[in-house]
């Protein structure tokens, strides 16, 4: 069964093939020159057909396995590089530059009509039609990512896809979180509709992000309850509040839904935690209490602290700038403004010009013999994915949180991020209420 490209831990064979490709590029000056500035690469394992043509690449040491390789966009201004699959459709930038915005738009539509892709049923459809079926217009660059190139090559030759992965090679970009050698999920804006169509008819693992059976889903634990509020520990893998419905999938069960049943009355959210983050949250039972608590959050009168385990510095590529050296007792502050990555939501990126201010204080509580570090993180702002980006980005700690598949964290059985401390004034009588939760993970 093919892994779901939107949420996955790379198969061992894909990880081995990726390392082999990185070594091959490192040993080939012409390839290194093409990719060293930073490029997303892809690997697709396929079932070997009866005859293997010259356009297939079999990496040494992987006997019995056939791997295809691709890259996103252009490399050195070219869409064709020996050893990598060709583009779905070859074009030049001047092909879509018109004399007016309207002419450029028509040329862009023409271009996406030329990108005709296959799916697992043998059906064909243009990228323009695939997006139009959803009431969307394809963003620029759609169809040029590594994953659709690889699938198109395999499907057009009758090859059965077995496993896929996309990883970053080279220098980290200034805005996005990209680390040399780390795997990342396919983007949602460009590849979401496209890969979803191409995978129709293939045996593909369900996306765990669209199911309640995600990582360590367990029962929430209520820590405090009265007539105005309820404080609860959210398990990792559970939505904090109801999410946006996903067509074709059953509704997700959220912590807010669970509490409404538990309290036998509607509860209202005051703040959020990422689905993959565990820890303390407070909900209210009345609109008045909700307004009072939300005001405290807006005025930054609520104190929150998180525990996180980040990757070892030794896991960074030695040829590139390493992450921040972390020693027990060390403290610091990260200030990197954040903005949504509109073509790859819910990912966030650093935007020094247009991003919203985001400030995080950190303290190193413990450094393991393996080099992984346990941190205490205090956010002074509440931006989406703030702690995850500040830990992972090269301008922050350069140390992704373990289990953070979205931002290149090393594989783990969950996201190692836990909301461990929450302090606020009771919305009814103003008394200070403080809650602490022990770390639920040790590795």
Catalytic residue (choose from 144, 274, 276, 341): 274
Same-domain check for residues 240 and 200: no
Token output for 291 = 């307004």
Per residue, the 3-state secondary structure of 61-110, as one string, reads: CCCCCEEEEEECCCECCECCCCCCCCCCCCCCHHHHCCCCHHHHHHHHHH
Q: Kindly state the greatest CA–CA separation across the chain.
A: 77
- Residue 248 is part of which domain span? 221-436
235-239-242 Cα angle (round to 5): 145
Residue pair 60/32 in contact (Cβ under 8 Å)? The answer is: no
Neighbouring residues of 179: CB distance < 8 A, sequence distance ≥ 6 = 168, 172, 316, 317, 392, 394, 398, 400, 408
User: What is the pLDDT at residue 60?
Assistant: 44
192 within a domain of the structure (yes/no): yes
210 within a domain of the structure (yes/no): no
Q: How far is CA 142 from the centre of its chain?
A: 18
Neighbouring residues of 206: CB distance < 8 A, sequence distance ≥ 6 = 4
Same-domain check for residues 187 and 287: no
CATH code of the domain containing 260: 3.30.2350.10
Q: In 300-418, which ranges are continuous DSSP H helix?
A: 386-392
How many other β-carbons are positioned within 10 Å of the β-carbon of residue 366?
12
96 within a domain of the structure (yes/no): yes
Same-domain check for residues 20 and 161: yes
188 within a domain of the structure (yes/no): yes
Same-domain check for residues 154 and 245: no
List 153's β-bridge partners, or say none: none
Q: In 265-372, which ranges are continuous DSSP H helix?
A: 287-298
Per-residue b or e along 383-414, where b marks 16 or more CB atoms closer than 10 Å to that residue's CB = bbbbbbbbbbbbbbbbbbbbbbbbbbbbebeb
Mapped onto helix, strand or coil, the DSSP state of residue 56 is coil
Same-domain check for residues 198 and 240: no
Residue pair 31/24 in contact (Cβ under 8 Å)? The answer is: yes
Same-domain check for residues 239 and 343: yes
DSSP conformation class of 250: P
Same-domain check for residues 182 and 228: no
User: What is the pLDDT at residue 333?
Assistant: 96
User: What is the pLDDT at residue 343?
Assistant: 85
Q: How far is CA 408 from the centre of its chain?
A: 8
Same-domain check for residues 169 and 231: no
User: Domain boundary at 155, 170, 205, which?
Assistant: 205
Same-domain check for residues 34 and 127: yes
274 is catalytic: yes
Q: Is the pTM of this model over 0.85?
A: yes
Residue pair 318/330 in contact (Cβ under 8 Å)? The answer is: no
Same-domain check for residues 363 and 403: yes
Same-domain check for residues 86 and 199: yes
User: What is the pLDDT at residue 210?
Assistant: 73
User: Domain boundary at 142, 174, 205, which?
Assistant: 205
Same-domain check for residues 235 and 201: no
Mapped onto helix, strand or coil, the DSSP state of residue 234 is strand
- What is the enclosing helix (H) or strand (E) of 128? helix 127-132
442 within a domain of the structure (yes/no): no
3 within a domain of the structure (yes/no): no
Residue 332 Ramachandran class (φ > 0 left, ψ -120 to 50 alpha, else beta): beta
17-20-21 Cα angle (round to 5): 90
Total of domains in the chain: 2
Residue pair 336/396 in contact (Cβ under 8 Å)? The answer is: yes
User: What is the pLDDT at residue 216?
Assistant: 54
Query: What does the pLDDT profile of the chain (443 residues) look like in tens digits?
Result: 999 999 999 999 999 999 999 999 999 999 999 999 999 999 999 987 655 555 555 544 455 568 999 999 999 989 999 999 999 998 766 555 656 777 777 888 888 999 999 999 999 999 999 999 999 999 989 999 999 999 999 999 999 999 999 999 999 999 999 999 999 999 999 999 999 999 999 999 988 777 665 545 678 999 999 999 999 999 998 999 987 766 666 667 899 999 999 999 999 999 999 999 999 999 999 999 999 999 999 999 999 999 999 998 754 444 444 556 789 999 999 999 999 998 888 899 999 999 999 999 999 999 998 899 999 999 999 999 999 999 999 999 999 999 999 999 999 989 999 999 999 999 999 999 999 999 888 65
């Amino acid at each position: 069964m093919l892994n779901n490209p939107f949420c996955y831990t790379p198969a061992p064979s894909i990880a081995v093939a990726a390392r082999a490709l990185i070594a091959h590029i490192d040993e080939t000056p012409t390839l290194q020159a093409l990719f060293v500035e930073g490029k997303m690469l892809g690997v697709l394992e396929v079932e070997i057909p009866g005859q293997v043509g010259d356009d297939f690449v079999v990496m040494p040491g992987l006997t019995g396995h056939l791997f295809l390789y691709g890259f996103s966009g252009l490399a050195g201004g070219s869409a064709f590089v020996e050893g990598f699959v060709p583009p779905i459709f070859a074009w030049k930038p001047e092909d879509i530059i018109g004399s007016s915005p309207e002419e450029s738009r028509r040329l862009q539509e023409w271009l996406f009509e030329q990108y005709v892709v296959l799916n697992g049923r043998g059906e064909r459809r243009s990228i323009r039609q695939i997006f139009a079926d959803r009431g969307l217009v394809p963003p620029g660059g759609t169809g040029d990512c590594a994953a659709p190139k690889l699938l198109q090559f395999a499907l057009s030759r009758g090859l059965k896809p077995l496993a896929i992965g996309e990883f970053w090679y080279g220098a980290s970009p200034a805005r996005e979180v990209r680390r040399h050698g780390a795997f990342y999920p396919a983007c949602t804006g460009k590849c979401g509709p496209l890969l979803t169509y191409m995978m129709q008819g293939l045996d593909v693992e369900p996306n765990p992000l669209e199911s309640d059976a995600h990582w360590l889903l367990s029962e929430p634990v209520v820590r405090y309850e009265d007539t105005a509020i309820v404080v609860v520990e959210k398990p990792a893998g559970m939505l904090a509040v109801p999410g946006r419905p996903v067509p074709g999938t059953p509704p997700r069960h959220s912590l807010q839904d669970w509490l409404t049943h538990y309290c036998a009355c509607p509860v209202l959210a005051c703040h959020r935690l990422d689905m993959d983050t565990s820890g303390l949250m407070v909900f209210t039972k009345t609109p008045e209490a909700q307004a009072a608590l939300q005001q405290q959050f807006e005025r930054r009168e609520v104190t929150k602290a998180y525990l996180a385990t980040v990757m070892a510095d030794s896991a960074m590529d030695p040829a590139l700038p390493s992450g921040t050296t972390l020693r027990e007792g060390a403290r610091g502050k990260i200030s990197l403004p954040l903005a949504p990555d509109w073509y790859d939501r819910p990912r966030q990126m650093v935007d020094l010009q247009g991003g919203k201010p985001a400030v995080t204080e950190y303290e190193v509580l413990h450094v393991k013999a393996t080099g992984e570090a346990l941190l205490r993180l205090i956010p002074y702002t509440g931006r989406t994915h703030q702690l995850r980006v500040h830990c992972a980005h090269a301008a922050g700690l350069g140390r992704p949180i373990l289990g953070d598949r979205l931002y290149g964290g090393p594989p783990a059985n969950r996201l190692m991020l836990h909301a461990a401390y929450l302090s606020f004034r009771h919305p009814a009588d103003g008394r200070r209420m403080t809650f602490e939760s022990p770390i639920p993970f040790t590795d």
